[in-house]
Structure 1
């Protein structure tokens, strides 16, 4: 088997070459999924027709590489810059719309990868395999045109806070005058981070966010004061704006006024105001304690009334009382990306490993939907999987109330489509492909079909018989300027039907 889409570029390749390869793969995935037509031509490199008739071929499948376009003189290799130009021409023709912002983001994403690779070559990864998994996503979202864009700002402004660079840093501590504090839920963990003077409440802040927003008036009139930094380091997780403090076993999620993938990553007012409702619904849908599946509760938030979204901080459960004893939690997205200690690299029996994985992840997500009307955003980045000493999956942990949808607030059909996309297309499909690459000849889909068919949901029969699955169109969403939360799907061939 051609292993180009399993292995990243060699470490001894130039940073520029490696950055081009990392950045090209997700952009190619988007082009090939959303606007291209695969042609039935023989050969080891699939050929695709783009809108307007140009032909593009690539090497590999899951992580396409080495793009070439057909010219009068034959196939010509193109780099990332030429690929961005080609994408812009194709999308303008396909949609009838121009977009100058997204190509700049694509270039910014590639340049960010180069900065991250340089920093990783000099950095020491964390010893903890969980933290190592959270900080492994150099490629990032495999079907987004600019997954590593950081808002176009100077590298020095964001690199100290980048999980992919193995960053760790203390949090800024602010004091908010008591009459300006807004909070809901359990925020007691915030008061233990330091000491606020009389008349003030403690409010931790992400230092990058403080550089992005202006609170000069509040500092001048005393509504806000600076109290130094925490006496301990925090580790940014894959979500970038969510950090983990191992000493306190505490996750904190902040606003970050930067576009990352599809959205400006603020804690938006409407999401904060519904946080308790969605979090309690998700907690009720999953067992408490270190059971077979766990919800990491977003148990409360605190902010200032004069900067409600900009300075908001959300308190999330830690891991120690949630993870099964003797197991190690790992980010599901890291299994796909690859990292030192990845159990996919050591699984001797792929069928047994995959069945255990399906048994940990699928039942709780389906039960939450069927029994509680809770649509978990069970994609790769919101799922942790705990493995035992042999690397076998034994537990799933789900997180992020911000992405949870509730029935009947969303129609059942829309909720089911979202769950299928997050759980099957974004999550299981990617893990299945990564596992199959390591074990040529292994077909993961019969086991997935068996696991899904065990669940008595009226939608399951239709899912197993449907010729297509919903694939989110991140490239077209960004090109047409749609709202980041406005998911639009196109039909993808359903591997479950042929299983």
Structure 2
């Protein structure tokens, strides 16, 4: 087997200096981390429309990919919805590779070098996360404890744990899976030099200045300035959104580094739109018969820079009644709940009821496992949903107007009446993302959908979900296409039909 040792060895040396107790666990977790990232990469190679893959064909020996340079890549059959599978090696012209970074480097396709470095970082970061994992009580008492239980990151992205600008110290200090408490500071900016949306609280004002919360990594590495101590907080799944230890609204900060795929700053567009989007979310939630809550954005401020901005948002916990628990959908797999077909069907029915209702009204949610949360009854049944972070939804003015809803006074990337774009946004995030990641396999997802679909209103959107291939973001193609901004897509086999073959070309 071939594997690059530089990155792994560098992490080991740094870890030996700051947390030597984690070093044996980190070393032991490296093979499994390589396999986890390689599994996600193989899913992408098997199903995304990569221009240098000329043909795919399966057989008793698995799946073969013919490349445009004449080489062949062989691996096992690929279920695009599987999360528990493990690909231990792939064979490029007969040579086995157990390391995803080295495989991509040796594929030598356009932009492979940068993507290879990201994969290497994903491996070591994932190994570090697994080495530091704990197994708390089955039902945490606090919402932030649920956020910390998601160790492996994105269930389908090869860059599931890539934080390429973070050192080992940064990972341990700021990654939610490492359970840190972060010191949030503020930076004063003259009020007349700020863009404000919503209401900015008095505690974050100082005379003629607004005090903007800043992530400590951002203050040190991007702003390169000191900040005033403000509050301690715990990072949530998105890492740059934090829950203050003394309660109250969550704080979304700018973090101008690439996490998984995107640089997590906060654009002026998002700040300007936040109040209108929050009002729209409330209006939509009112039309779901109590099945959905949308967290309110209380205030947003930008110093006219994506590197210095912040949002204050309600905690999802405010929508849980006594005895109920609210947790991100991504955390469901840390429980035994999805192993029950009846439970999975009930959850799928709830999620599709809400998602399709909002799509019919005119809003496609980015309902992946981080933005979408589920409220469980004391007995563990899914009863309601909570949605947070409206910054990347899609809004159809025509559909909203058709249903008597006033479209928000917005333009730009959030606004579209294109049915394909709207369905891609919802189906790609909810079905190919949150539901698939919870189900863990194509057959389990198909069975849950089969149980839920008959109970849903018959709409054109539902018919598209039943009959068409399922859209999913082509996450690897996007990382290998830096000159093509925006989302790129692939089509996956519809889990509601019998065909399970590879697609994407």
Separation in structure 1 between the aligned mates of residue 137 and residue 164 of structure 2, nearest angstrom:
26
Verify: 1:240 aligned to 2:259, yes or no. no
2:133 is the alignment partner of 1:134? no
Greater shift in the superposed pair: 409-418 or 253-262: 409-418
- Who is 1:79 aligned against? 98
Report matched runs for 1:59-458 at 5 Å: 61=79, 62=82, 63-69=85-91, 77-80=96-99, 83-90=100-107, 92=109, 97-120=110-133, 127-128=140-141, 130-188=143-201, 191-192=202-203, 197-214=206-223, 226-230=227-231, 233-245=232-244, 247-287=246-286, 291-305=290-304, 308-335=305-332, 338-339=333-334, 342-344=335-337, 350-371=340-361, 373-408=362-397, 409-413=415-419, 414-433=421-440, 443-451=447-455, 454-458=456-460
Matched residue, 1:473: 474
CA distance in 1, matches of 2:39, 2:364: 30
Deviation at 1:292, TM superposition (A): 1.9
User: Contact 1:59 / 1:67 at 8 angstroms: preserved in 2?
Assistant: no
Q: What secondary structure, in the 3-state scheme, does the structure 1 residue paired with 2:133 have?
A: helix
- Note closer, same or farther for the CA distance 1:465–1:59 as it changes in structure 2 (3 Å cut): closer
Deviation sequence 1:188-213 (CA, Å, 0-9, x none): 2xx347xx654433322111111122
Q: Secondary structure at the match of 1:443?
A: helix
Which residue in the other structure is 2:400 paired with? none
Matches of 1:400 and 1:140, distance apart in 2:
18
How far residue 401 of structure 1 moved from its aligned partner, in angstroms, is 1.2
CA contact (8 A) 2:295 2:388 kept: yes
Q: How many residues align?
A: 448
State TM-score, norm by structure 1: 0.80
Deviations 1:198-250 (A, max 9, x none): 4433322111111122365xx8xxxxxx43232xx311111111111253232
**What SS does the corresponding residue of 1:330 show, helix, strand or coil?**
strand
- In 2, the alpha carbon distance for the partners of 1:11 and 1:473 equals 33
Partner Cα distance (2:138, 2:229) in 1: 27
Q: Secondary structure at 1:170's aligned position in 2?
A: strand
Q: Do the aligned residues in 2 keep the contact of 1:297 with 1:316 (CA within 8 Å)?
A: yes
2: CA distance between counterparts of 1:102 and 1:55? 18
SS in 2 for 1:364: helix
Cα deviation for residue 297 of structure 1 reads: 1.9
Is the 1:288–1:294 contact (alpha carbons within 8 Å) kept by the matching residues of 2?
no
Cα gap change, 1:320 to 1:426, in 2 (>3 Å): closer
Deviation at 1:493? 0.9
Whether contact under 8 Å (2:344, 2:448) holds in the other structure is yes
Q: Provide Cα deviations, 1:286-331, integer angstroms capped at 9, x if missing partner.
A: 13999321111223202334xx321211011123431243211111
User: How far apart, in 1, do the equivalents of 2:136 and 2:458 lie?
Assistant: 49
Root-mean-square deviation (Å):
3.2
CA offsets 1:64-120 (integer angstroms, 9 cap, x no match): 321231656xxx64222xx3233344471xxxx344211111112112223333443
Q: Aligned residue for 2:74? A: 56
Structure 2's unaligned 5+ residue stretches are: 1-23, 398-414, 500-505
Tell me, in whole angstroms, the C-alpha distance in 1 between the residues paired with 2:228 and 2:287. 36
Shift of 1:469: 1.4
Separation in structure 1 between the aligned mates of residue 287 and residue 298 of structure 2, nearest angstrom: 14
Question: Which structure 1 residue ranges, 5 or more long, are not aligned?
Answer: 1-9, 220-225
Q: Distance in 2 between matches of 1:483 and 1:494?
A: 27
**8 Å CA contact retained: 1:343, 1:391:** no
